[in-house]
Structure formats: structure tokens, C-alpha cells
Amino acid sequence: MSEKALQAAMDFMENEKQFHLGFLPTEQSSPITRGMDQKFASSCEAGVRNLQEVDRNVLEMAKRIFASAEFKKLVDAGESVIRNGGKVVFSGCGATGRLSILLECMWRDCCAKDSAAAPYANQVFSIMTGGDYALVKSVEFFEDYQVFGRRQVQEMGMGENDMLVAITEGGETSSVLGSVFEALDRGSKVFLMFNNPADLLAEHLERSRKAIRDPRVCVLDLHCGPMALAGSTRMQATTSEQLVAGGALESIMCRLTGKPQTDYASEFGALLAQLESAEAVKGIADYIAFEADIYRKKGLITYFANDYLLDIFTDTTERSPTFMLPPFRKNDDNISPRPWAFVKNPLFTTEETWMRGMNRKLRCLEWEIKDYRDMNIPESICSNPPKIRSTELLKFEVGCEHPEDRTVTGNDAAVLITVGNMPCPADLKDGFANVQAPFACRKYLAVGGAAEADFSIPCNIKESPLHLMGHMAVKLVLNTVSTGVMAVLGRITSNWMSWVNVSNKKLMDRGIRLICEIGGVDYKTGCIMIYEAVEELENNFNASEEQVSVVQHVLNKLKK
């Protein structure tokens, strides 16, 4: 290997120990799902049931948290802030950043449809590390810098009348903790929500300890064990945070509008039971087999939706770094490979889709080179800053434009998705039927069990101001679908995401630990091998081809 690669490996070993996170439960392998790849190999239904077992851990956590003093304090503080004209701001990165945006959009959607809620429309906001652009394509390295979180709190104009709810799956994401520290400096109320034991984080990580032990921070420890897919915090960690943060936000709305409060733990338990029914498991398993077959034929999947499009979009986006799939590409990019799965709204243009889905203008980062230099960011970033402005986000055509771009292999599928107990709305059904593109097949997936669906997932979704259980249902189903499809296609080894993209320091550590467990080598050897592989693959990168997994590259070497 080159001296440069060896030095990079030794630097990560010696100087980046704050990102060596194997001691955290969210980074470990769940004993419940070990050998999950073999369960899916035996039958999709067996694999689905194995994945669903781990969701039960979320329910046990929910019972504890919803009865806690900390949850009551969160709801009380949020109600007070809203009534006094302040802002409630959710902050997150990656999956929790997308969750933060979803929470804001759930609030704004309620305010747009309920006259009693309308006066409060512009009082809930979100901070996504990397801005709204990161909804579509992760700006992975942003999470390594606290200063980015601080800067976004400054731009939000937070002050003494406001409240920050910071959400980080592991409890250690630097950019999210940066938003905590800046909000504290500005006198805002601060809540911090994460999925590892607070004492463990405080013992090992200085940045986490500083936030957790600050008496001004109210901590909600949502620890519910390892993920069904090791390290994939988009699953149970974000599910638990969506349930708790969404329950708090909906409780605030119910208080403001005089609606009855809800027992969210019981509702979530009922939803889990319905998704575990034989009919629901078969519907999920049948759909997994269908989608996997499309990919085997080198075909593309395009999901079409209107309501819940942001939820579907989130799961689809997060497949790229988790399973090393081609990310979404812009309409002026004719070189990069097309993403395996994409999301479109058949009824509206891209700009209309964002506006209707968010009920606000896009909130992207419009930073200049000078802004990065003012934040003392490494020159390698300052001289080539990421293109993450609103104009760039709009290049991802999530509206009705150019559906033919998704029909290039002859084996491509269009999938209509609806959520809820009612039949598919007539305008959506017509819009889907009228999409002018030669898809090889068109299917209908209904989360909620519409009778006319090709794939029906029966569950009775209770209506509520923010439609929380509808959002929970689509998340649970799509997490299971996307993970199951990758298991069927061999991109999971036991219960590890063995095709993970090592695009930031936390993912680099995860990749090294994965190589150690599967390849049977020590951490130092795994670290040196992965940095050597990074250099090899960079030197042979072709922008028109799908990226090769660094982890798979190393594992294949070890097999030889």
C-alpha cells in the first residue's frame, strides 16, 4: 500500500478515537437477527417476521418514555413556547434530519387543513445538517463538524423564547450537538433525544458528556437495543424517535386545539400487532419478492405517491449509503448511473411537489466559500464546497416531469403507494394511470389494505391531527421492505450492512468493525486494509458505473 494510505489509516487509529463507536448498542449486532440473511434465503415471510421482532423493543421503550417526567416536560415546554409566540425547532442529521423535516411538515400540514391550528403554522421549524438538500442526497461529512450545527441555529435566529429538540440516533453526532451548544448559548430551552444509554455516552465521549451533563439540557434516553440491521439507525432508532417526538408534537397540537390526548404506546402496540398478522406479513413478503425480481433483471423501481411522499422519499434516499446503491441524480447529469429506486408525484411539478408537501419554501444552505472559511473548515472543503443550494435540489425531478427517464431497461416498474384506510383517491389513481412512460409493469402497494391493491398490507390506521400512526405505519413497512430486498439480493451478511458506504468517520469505523467481525481480523488490520481499498478504488473510479463497495472489496480479498 502507499505511504499516504498507511498514514491515513494510522491517523484514524490514533487520532480519531472519538469516532470509534463499537461500544455503543446502536452500532452492535442484534442477537435477535443474527443469521437474518439465511432466514430470507429460506423464505421472505420468515425474514420479515425476524425483522419485525426487533420493533417490539421500541414498544417497551415507548411505554417507559411516555410515562416519564421528561416526556411531560417536553410537551409542557412546547405548549408554553407556542402559546407565547416562540419557535419549536427540531434538529437532526441524516435519518434524524429527515425526521426533523418530516415533523415540521406534519405540523404545517395540520395547520393548513385545520382552521383551529392555522394560527400556529409558522412556529415549528427544522434544522437538517446540510439543509433541505440533504433530504435528497446525504452531505455525509457535514455531520463531523459542530460548527455547521451552530451556524444553522444562528441562521434560524433562535433566542430565549424558543425551544430546540435535538435528535441524534447515537447521541454523538457532532453537527447535532453543535446545534445544542449554540441554542444553549442563546438562552433557548433545549431537549436532547438519542438511542444509547446516557451514562455510557457520558463515560466515553467528551462531546456527548458535555451536552448530557449540562443541567440546562433535558435528556430523553430512548435506548432500545441494537438495530435489526447492525448500525442501521434509520430503523429502530429513528422509529422510536419518530414515535416519541411525533407523539410530543401531536400532544402539543391537541392541547392547543382542545382535542383529546392519546395513549401512543397502546396505539403503537396495536399497529405492530396488525403488521405482524399473517395477511400483512404475506403482503410485505410478496412485495419484497416482486421488487427484488425487478432489480435482478436490472430494472428500475419508481414509486408514485402524493400524501406521505416525504416518508417514502426518506426511506428511498437512505438506501444509497446503507447498501451502496447509486444515489439520486440530477436532471443535468447524463453520466452517473440511475438510482435503483426513485420517487415521483404524478400530479404536480417538482417545485409544486415540494411546496405542497412542506407548506413552506425550500430551506437550503446558500453558503459561499467565505462562509466556510469563516467557520475554519478544512481548505479541501472551502476550495470545493458542496453544491447544496435550492437550485440544485430542484434538479432532482420528484414531480411529474420526464417519467420516461425511469423506463430505460425494458424491465422497469411503476409502483403506486397509498397509506390509510380509504380507497385510492380518484385524482391520484387517474394521475398514475396517465403517466406517459413505457413501464414494463404497474403495481399498487397499499399500506392500510385497499381492496384493489396488488400488494395489500392490512392495518387500521387511527386518524389524528398529525396522522402520526399513518406515518409510523409507512415507516415500519418500508424499512422492512428496503432491508428485506437487500437481504434477498445478498447485500446483507448475517445482519450486517456489508455494502455500507464509508463516506464519513462514523461509517468508516462501522466498515472496519464489519470487516473485523466477518473477516476475522483485528481492528488495526481491518483499518489498514480499508484505507488501502479506498485508495485502490478511487484510482479506478468511473463516474458512469456504480461505485464498488470498499467493504466488499476488502472482504473479497480476505476470502481469496
Does residue 51 lie in a domain region? Answer: no
Let me know how long the chain is. 560
Calpha distance 297→301 (Å, rounded):
11
Q: Could you identify the residue written with the cell 461529512?
A: 141
446-469 pLDDT, tens per residue?
999 777 899 999 999 988 999 999
Give me the phi and psi of 401, to 5 degrees please. Answer: -70, 140
Last residue of a domain, one of 488, 505, 537: 488
Please give the tally of structural domains in the chain: 3
Does residue 118 lie in a domain region? Answer: yes
Q: What is the pLDDT of residue 66?
A: 98
Give me the phi and psi of 322, to 5 degrees please. Answer: -70, -40
Same structural domain, 406 and 331: yes
Specify the CATH number for the domain of residue 158: 3.40.50.10490
Does residue 436 lie in a domain region? Answer: yes
Calpha distance 352→286 (Å, rounded):
33
Last residue of a domain, one of 488, 517, 550: 488
> Which residues lie closer than 8 Å to 56 by C-beta, 6 or more apart?
272
Q: What is the pLDDT of residue 140?
A: 65
- Do the Cβ atoms of 495 and 33 come closer than 8 Å? yes
Same structural domain, 84 and 157: yes
Does residue 15 lie in a domain region? Answer: yes
Structural domain that includes position 524: 3-29+496-559
Same structural domain, 89 and 208: yes
Same structural domain, 432 and 374: yes
Same structural domain, 127 and 233: yes
Q: What is the pLDDT of residue 452?
A: 87
Does residue 50 lie in a domain region? Answer: no
Q: SS3 for 397? A: coil
Last residue of a domain, one of 443, 463, 488: 488
Q: What is the pLDDT of residue 303?
A: 98
Give the pTM. 0.94
Beta bridge partners of 344: 304
Same structural domain, 169 and 208: yes
Same structural domain, 375 and 326: yes
Same structural domain, 481 and 517: no
418-441 pLDDT, tens per residue?
999 888 999 999 999 999 999 999
Same structural domain, 276 and 148: no
Residues (pLDDT < 50) of the chain are none
Does residue 545 lie in a domain region? Answer: yes
> Which residues lie closer than 8 Å to 196 by C-beta, 6 or more apart?
24, 25, 26, 170, 171, 172, 221, 223
- Do the Cβ atoms of 39 and 188 come closer than 8 Å? no
Q: What is the pLDDT of residue 540?
A: 81
Does residue 338 lie in a domain region? Answer: yes
* CA trace torsion 167, 168, 170, 172 (10° rounding): -120
Does residue 301 lie in a domain region? Answer: yes
Same structural domain, 443 and 383: yes
Same structural domain, 41 and 93: no
Same structural domain, 86 and 230: yes
Specify the CATH number for the domain of residue 308: 3.40.50
